[in-house]
Chain A
Amino acid sequence: MSCSRRTFLVRLGGMALAGSLAPSWASGFEKRRLAMVVDLNRCRQARPGCDLCRQACHSAHNVPSIPDPAHEIKWIWDEEFQRVFPTEVHPGLPPEIATSSVPVLCNHCENPPCVRVCPTGATFVKPNGIVGMDEHRCIGCRYCMPACPYSSRSFNFVDPRPFLRTTNTDYPTRTKGVVEKCTFCEERLASGRLPACVEACPVQAMTFGDIGDPAIQQRLASSRILRRRPELGTSPYVFYIL
């Protein structure tokens, strides 16, 4: 008995050591409140034609390319500014801004309605603010889809695997009948890397980190900041610089 207790204590110490040696992204990771700032002025510099964030995200997460728009899976994609921020449209807004493309994704809300309505806890808020998704627990009731006021959730109406051009074997594929969405690349964060879209952006339009990080604070303080539909009280943690 004493031997097994000793083994247990050795393992416990080993785990503590491993924790202290983990990359900076992973250490204290659970204590963070993660946020993203998208600089739309920089994003527009790469337009038109830039699609690198979507490509990087969708290939990293085995998001299928389904031609039928009714059955599409989208984690990050483009929408027109005037559709994303309808209340910001006014007669003085330059038309090129009103019709410009804005990357949209899950807002990882502070108060997410999707999590509130889920009948199985298949979607949930992590301590670091990420709105997570357990596709193995999801029963496919799709209540989270009308609950999300940002259309950020996709349902696998069909088997997604035949629509994958390439498969990233480091990330799971999904089955038909479950909901999925952007996860702020939690699997990449765990190994100390930035989200795929942030890394792929050629003009560094996206800043990612803890809401208290100086880089994030500096960006949030310096410019006109928009959040999608703030009147709904969801408190999105994806911020846009107009």
Chain B
Amino acid sequence: MKFVTLEKSDPLFHRHLMGHLSDGEVPIPVESLHVNSNDEKVTFQILDKDKIIRPSIWIVILKVMRIDLIAFTLFPPIAVFSVALAHGQPTSQLGFVLLSLFFLHGAVFCRNDFADHLNGVDRVNEKGGSRVIQNGWLRATSVQKLYRVLIFLAVFFAGPVLMRLPQLLWLAAIGGGLGVLGYTFLRRGLGWLAGDLSVFIALGPLLTLGANIVASKPISTVTALFLGSGFGLGVVIYLEIRHLISQVVDDTAGFRTLPVWLGFDRAKTAVASMFVLMGLMLVASFLTLSLFWGVIAGSLYIVLMAGMALRTKEISSPLSSVLPTLLKEATLMHIFYGIIFMAYSFF
């Protein structure tokens, strides 16, 4: 077993971090000290490329694109488009939008994985990111290249829609900017709050409003705002549960997150409140549509979310194994939220 320890000032440091050693060898960071500072020191294990057990390349690509979280990006437009389809509105460009968002989702997560590998967040937090770089399945440079390909595909498929509706460029620019800021640059200091807020806006109201414009407004702007806020809350809930899981690491490493700022118990209360608030957003969306059965369905959804909130409150520590389960369930709740709304299109 071969290990190399390098300091940031070492000329080989960046090459090792990028995974560029030789064709037959892959350096994997196993210990990182003083990350993101001039004193940073990383120990790499040098592995033979042939000895790394890796799933098929397609699975690895889907993993780094975080396909497991694709619902966060695609469900808001799908929910709006389904209403448009049911109302017989023009749908020719909806496919392009979904394809563009699919690749954009992958690109953002590739960028996120790459940036968090370089700045050390995912090297310190053993549960952070897709782990594709840290497992030696893809070199950091390959993830960077994949990001470029995916962003090209996202722009390519967005082209026809943007030509027809140039005003979407503003929304896309705001959303893209918020996404990049939220995920990459705002992790320290008070910036975490802006980061969480930007994720909420970009993957919530902004995405839903954009989809509503593309689909020729099958729902009112107010409905889209309520619906989108629920979707946004769903993503923030997911994010905060992840922050609860990594609270010990984040606190020790000096990363600022909601749980580090509020403390474990109050952060749990915040997440529990967000569960209930997400349910209220669904009810509010149906109220704006004056749909009685929708309000009933939304109320049942609130009961479900209240159950999730109670479970959140019962968790005893950031290391509890209930948290990873809750994380999966929060993803399902986000999907369920979209499905209940989509049922609207059948009435």
Is the pairing of A and B real?
A: no
Residue numbers of A with Cβ under 8 A of B are none
Residue numbers of B with Cβ under 8 A of A are none
